[in-house]
Amino acid sequence: MKGEGVLFSSVTLEMKKNKKEKITVKKSSSEFYNILIHGIITVILCAVLVCGAFVALPTKQYTISVGDISSETIKATHDISIEDVAATLKAKQDARDKVPFVYSLDESIATNVVAELNTMLSGIDSIRSAAKSHFNEWVAERKLEDPDNALIYDMYTISDKIGDPIVFNNYFWDTVLSGVNNRFSQAEAKDLIVVSSIYIEELRSGLTRIVTDTMSQSITQEDLYPTKESVTQKINKLVLPSDLKIIAIDTCNDIITYNIIFDAEATEANKLVAENAVEPVMITYKKGQNICEEGQPVTQMQYDIIKDLGLLKETGINFSYYLGISLMVVSICVVHFIALTFFNAKAISSIKNQILVALIVLISSMAYVLTLKLSMYFITSFLCAMLISLTVDNRTAFTASMTVSAITGIYADCNFSVFIASLLGTVICITCLKRTTQRRVVIVSGLAGGLGTTVMLMVLQYYQTAAISQWHLILLYVLLGAFSSCMLSIGLLPILENAFRIITPIRMLELSNPNQAVLKRMLLEAPGTYYHSMVVGNMAEIAANAVGANGLLARIGALYHDVGKLMRPYMFKENQNDDVNPHDDIPPETSAKIITSHVKDGLHIAKKYKVSELAYDFILEHHGTTTASFFYHKAVESYGFENVNIEDYKYSGRIPSSPESAIVMMADTCEAAVRAQKKADPNAIRELINKLIDAKINDRQLDDCKLTLSQIKVIKETFFTVLSGSLHQRIEYPDMKKIDSEFGNKAVEAVTATKEAQTNM
């Protein structure tokens, strides 16, 4: 058995899981369908708004050429700037001329100079080595030829024979000097040959250090002579023979050169940078400014401006102009679609709402197109703000108002000030309309929005021009637009309410009017039910407001929840004035059928009297799926438990689907039960309220109403406050006839004496 129980629980959980998944898939499919329909509606709206932009921003085209005499004054249709090519070229050339030449350090020059120095030093070594070898060969030859004087030849030094043309003949010098590219003269070569190796090493190290240090510095052409002078001074400080210093100075003067050279590429690059940095010299024409006067020849510059404005017939339709307008409108519609889809779920919760919002946006935008010829300040975006705020909600109204304000700014020739001012005005308007129930508030909110728009327009005008001009015209047209929007809103509101079957707060207030036909009939035919509905309405409104629900909606639902009792008012206890109860003479199953049928009868009567669909949920849900317990128990007592089907005694409605409907259900039950109490004891009332509402919770009648336990606790306390106050004790007045019979003339005499005393005073 235990295993069977576990298996049953597992199967039950699996069934619940599958059901939940099916519900999720169904919900996702519904949301996708709503978004798809919303996208189609937005595309249609966008197409109409684009057409409206073409109507609001037309362009007239001309047939004209350079040199023609203009037959009329042509004005700029919008702000435009055109480049003065000649002035721009001159400015660029001036910028190039101001760029200084660029000089750069050529490191290869220093390398070459050092290399040349090393070559020179290597040449010195080569000359000295060649001279030494040649001298040694000569000595060896002489010793072979004259052995007897070999010792004498050994005593000769190279310095002794360097000037001997026989030993160092011209052939030797030509060969040696050509080997070093004739860098040195014969005399310099002789000095280098006979000098001590110590001096050669000093020359080598000194020149290498001086040349390397010198060439590591930046040397311009202007700095070359002072640099060579500095090198000469440094060489003179070396410990060298004067002849060797002269050779060193001459060599350095020959090889040292400037290493800062003119950089043609860098100079040209800088000139190009300077040239490109020059802004084109523009000639600007403001919207409405005359381009060419009537009767004046058209210049090339004027022709180019007219062409750029798309005002030439020869260029055909200015597709770029219309494409730009279209893209702006499309962008706004895309933002409108995204905002409503992801941030305003209520706006796309039904196709009805989607069409309603799109229609109001369209009406408001087209109204501005019609009034644009009067003035761009004849703003009609207030119409959108007011209608959507009243028919949908404030968040959707704000989103749609942003769309209409942006479209208005485009229709006003892309006027940013009109857009910002219109947006501010609609925000003020929506704020003033929050949960209004009076039509006069519509006018007040519209005028408040108009004043806000006017102030913003003046502020923006002062910011842009440091002056405020034509403020009286701005005020006039904005207020006219606001007032016209108010009148249109009041006129269109009933039409939209009927066409889309929506209930606004204003309409709800009208539904609560006792002069409604069905309510008047209830007062006359079922006064007990009428009084009960009024009390339930008050309880529901106070409780709904206490938990953040719609109190007015709850009160309307309560007023109409029992209209079904009009079908047989005498069958309900509150309408029975005597002690005769018809149910005493009929079977309990028949009584239960009569009592529970008032739900179905209520829908029939509501439709007959064209009561708003808003009341249908309350009629269907105020008893939920509960049981007519009195008659069920009576049937059980009469027929036996096993012979009674409880389903025959249940109401055929559905459990409450909204907080307001659930509150009406609880208020209906509590008011009827407390009213039936013979003794109005506060503790008993509180206990009864708790018991009745807890029973609804346990019966799962409140599962779909989205009320929390903490909110239900507040509702209980609210009901207790209202009901305990309505069932208060009153003083029992004495019977005046009894007083007269007991006290007789004494009372009359006392009254007469009192009157005489007052007269004498």
Q: Which tens digit of pLDDT belongs to each residue from 402-459? A: 999 999 999 998 889 999 999 999 999 999 887 666 777 888 899 999 999 999 999 9
Question: Which residue has tokens 């400037």?
Answer: 258
**What does the pLDDT read at residue 343?**
81
**What does the pLDDT read at residue 729?**
52
pLDDT digits (tens, 9 = 90+) for 224-237: 899 999 999 999 98
**What does the pLDDT read at residue 761?**
41
d(C-alpha 670, C-alpha 393), whole Å = 32
Token pair of 247 as six digits: 């050779």
**What does the pLDDT read at residue 6?**
42
Query: Looking at the DSSP assignment, which residues form a beta bridge with residue 282?
Result: 83
Token pair of 110 as six digits: 């220093």
d(C-alpha 192, C-alpha 188), whole Å = 6
d(C-alpha 447, C-alpha 482), whole Å = 6
SS3 label, residue 106 = coil
**Lowest mean pLDDT: which of 276-280, 432-436, 719-723?**
432-436
Residues 6 or more apart from 330 whose CB is under 8 A from it? 46, 50
- Find, among 178, 177, 196, the residue nearest to 188 by Cα: 177
- Examine the pLDDT at 387 and tell me if it is beyond 50: yes
DSSP element (H, E) containing 261: strand 260-262
d(C-alpha 135, C-alpha 12), whole Å = 124
Question: How much helix, strand and coil, in percent to the nearest 5, is found in the chain?
Answer: 70, 5, 25
Residue type, 711: Q
d(C-alpha 419, C-alpha 396), whole Å = 18
Residue type, 540: A
Distances (CA, A) of 541 to 67, 523, 557, 702: 80, 20, 10, 18
- Find, among 342, 380, 336, 341, the residue nearest to 358 by Cα: 336
Question: 137-151, 722-736, 747-761: which has the highest mean pLDDT?
Answer: 137-151
d(C-alpha 455, C-alpha 459), whole Å = 6
Please give the sequence-ordered ranges of beta strands (E in DSSP) within 14-170, or none if there are none: 74-75, 80-83, 103-105
Residue 290 banded pLDDT, cuts 50, 70, 90: confident
d(C-alpha 651, C-alpha 654), whole Å = 8
- Examine the pLDDT at 669 and tell me if it is beyond 70: yes
**What does the pLDDT read at residue 435?**
62
**What does the pLDDT read at residue 28?**
62
Question: Cα–chain-centroid distance for residue 58?
Answer: 31
pLDDT, mean of residues 60-78: 78
Which three-class secondary structure string do you get for 357-378?
Answer: HHHHHHHHHHHHHHHCCCCCCC
- Examine the pLDDT at 95 and tell me if it is beyond 60: yes
**What does the pLDDT read at residue 500?**
83
Residue 210 banded pLDDT, cuts 50, 70, 90: very high
Q: Positive or negative CA dihedral for 649, 650, 651, 653?
A: negative
**What does the pLDDT read at residue 402?**
95
Number of continuous H segments (helices) and E segments (strands) in the chain = 32, 6
Kindly give the pairing relationship between strand 282-285 and strand 260-262: unpaired
- Find, among 481, 99, 120, the residue nearest to 275 by Cα: 99
Please give the sequence-ordered ranges of beta strands (E in DSSP) within 492-603, or none if there are none: none
d(C-alpha 60, C-alpha 274), whole Å = 41
Measured in degrees and rounded to the nearest 5, phi and psi for residue 650 equal -95, 150
- Find, among 413, 415, 389, 411, the residue nearest to 401 by Cα: 389
- Examine the pLDDT at 513 and tell me if it is beyond 50: yes
- Examine the pLDDT at 754 and tell me if it is beyond 50: no
**What does the pLDDT read at residue 317?**
65
Residues 6 or more apart from 139 whose CB is under 8 A from it? 153, 154, 156
**What does the pLDDT read at residue 292?**
84
pLDDT, mean of residues 125-144: 87
Question: Cα–chain-centroid distance for residue 707?
Answer: 33
Measured in degrees and rounded to the nearest 5, phi and psi for residue 319 equal -65, -35
Q: What is the CA radius of gyration of the chain?
A: 55
SS3 label, residue 595 = helix
Measured in degrees and rounded to the nearest 5, phi and psi for residue 260 equal -100, 110
Q: Positive or negative CA dihedral for 75, 77, 81, 85?
A: negative
SS3 label, residue 81 = strand
pLDDT, mean of residues 587-613: 89
Contact at 8 Å (CB) between 369 and 55? Answer: yes
Is 100 buried (19+), middle (13-18) or exposed (0-12) by CB count in 10 A? exposed
Question: 489-498, 502-511, 672-681: which has the highest mean pLDDT?
Answer: 489-498
CB neighbourhood size of 90 (10 A): 13
**What does the pLDDT read at residue 743?**
45
**What does the pLDDT read at residue 680?**
67
**What does the pLDDT read at residue 316?**
62
Cα angle 66, 67, 73 (rounded to 5 degrees) comes to: 85
**Lowest mean pLDDT: which of 50-59, 84-93, 744-753?**
744-753
Q: What average pLDDT does the structure give for the chain?
A: 84
**What does the pLDDT read at residue 733?**
43
Is 136 buried (19+), middle (13-18) or exposed (0-12) by CB count in 10 A? exposed
**What does the pLDDT read at residue 359?**
95
**What does the pLDDT read at residue 664?**
95
d(C-alpha 356, C-alpha 35), whole Å = 15
Question: Cα–chain-centroid distance for residue 408?
Answer: 19
